[in-house]
Amino acid sequence: MSQTSVQRELRLIRQRLEAIEEVLGEEMSESDKHALKEALREHKEGKSVPFSKVRKYH
């Protein structure tokens, strides 16, 4: 891979990381916050159903 190709790849990676950081940095809506609090409360009370390991079939 040439130096130019590496620089181009690094620039694309940086752009993707910045886009991800921007999305993660956005604030949750009030309804999302309420749903999260409700889910955490149900989990603490043992009302939630735990995920089980997924079986892979070949």
Query: pLDDT tens for residues 4-18?
Result: 888 889 999 999 998
Distance CA 56, CA 15 (A): 35
In a domain, 26, yes or no: yes
Does 49 reside within a domain?
no
- Does 51 fall in a domain? no
**Overall domain count for the chain:** 1
> Is 14 inside a domain boundary?
yes
Q: Looking at residue 57, what is its pLDDT?
A: 66
Is 22 part of any domain? Answer: yes
* pLDDT one-digit tens code per residue, 8-53: 899 999 999 988 888 887 777 888 888 888 888 888 888 876 666 6
Q: Which domain holds residue 14?
A: 3-44
Residue 54 lies in a domain: no
CA distance readout (Å), 20 to 4, 16, 29: 24, 6, 18
Say which residue the tokens 């995920």 belong to: 51
